[in-house]
């Protein structure tokens, strides 16, 4: 198990466009394993490779804690509906804000064996896919926040 350092907002690596993965090498497998370990260690529901400083089109997502998706070269095929809710990011620690996303997403990606698969997602999983894919093109959720970026701690006090 290897935990990698999570890059935070202000780090230029988070603003870059990531490159497509052409083949799975032992280093790619190690990266994916480390990304999963790093995501779980940080109690996140998703992590994109640039967040650990690697400019490759790879994300890991697990909104249930027991069902991880590895998405390599992911592409969104279809979206519909809308959901507005609080979003957060391991690269923007302690902050949260309201972001509107599609409520349904259909995407295609490769798994860790470079087998293509489609995924249909709603609600939190749909939100996570949109959020993580944005990272691959150098975008953070803070660009899409409606109103103020808030301190997550303040929010918890209000509720
Ligand atoms: Ni994020």
Residue-by-residue pLDDT tens, the chain, 159 positions = 699 999 999 999 999 999 999 999 999 999 999 999 999 999 999 999 999 999 999 999 999 988 899 999 999 999 999 999 999 999 999 999 999 999 999 999 999 999 999 999 999 999 999 999 999 999 999 999 999 999 998 876 655
Torsion of CA 78, 71, 55, 10, to 10 degrees: 70
Rounded distance from Cα 157 to ligand 1 centre (Å): 23
Rounded distance from Cα 63 to ligand 1 centre (Å): 13
Please give the backbone phi and psi of residue 148, each rounded to the nearest 5 degrees, phi first: -90, 145
Rounded distance from Cα 23 to ligand 1 centre (Å): 25
Question: Are residues 96 and 110 in contact, defined by beta-carbon separation less than 8 angstroms?
Answer: no
Q: Which residues are identified as catalytic? A: 132
**What are the beta bridge partners of residue 96?**
150
Residues near 18 by beta carbon (within 8 Å), at least 6 away in sequence = 48, 49, 50, 55, 56, 57, 58, 135, 136, 137
Rounded distance from Cα 2 to ligand 1 centre (Å): 20
- Output the pTM of the full model: 0.96
Question: Are residues 48 and 38 in contact, defined by beta-carbon separation less than 8 angstroms?
Answer: no
Question: What does the pLDDT read at residue 154?
Answer: 85
By DSSP bridging, strand 104-110 and strand 69-80 are: antiparallel
């Amino acid at each position: 198990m290897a935990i990698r350092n999570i890059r935070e907002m202000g780090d230029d690596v988070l603003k870059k466009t990531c490159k497509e993965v052409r083949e799975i090498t032992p280093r790619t497998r190690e990266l994916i394993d480390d990304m999963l370990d790093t995501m779980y260690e940080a109690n996140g529901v998703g992590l994109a490779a640039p967040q650990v400083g690697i400019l490759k089109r790879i994300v890991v997502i697990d909104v249930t804690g027991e069902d991880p998706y590895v998405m390599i070269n992911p592409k969104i095929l279809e979206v519909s509906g809308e959901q507005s809710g609080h979003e957060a990011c391991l690269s923007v620690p302690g902050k949260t804000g309201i972001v509107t996303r599609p409520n349904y997403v259909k995407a295609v990606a490769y798994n860790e064996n470079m087998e293509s698969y489609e995924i249909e997602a709603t609600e939190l999983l749909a939100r996570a896919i949109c959020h993580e894919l944005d990272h691959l093109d150098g975008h953070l959720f803070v660009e899409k926040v409606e109103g103020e970026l808030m301190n997550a701690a303040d929010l918890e006090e209000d509720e």
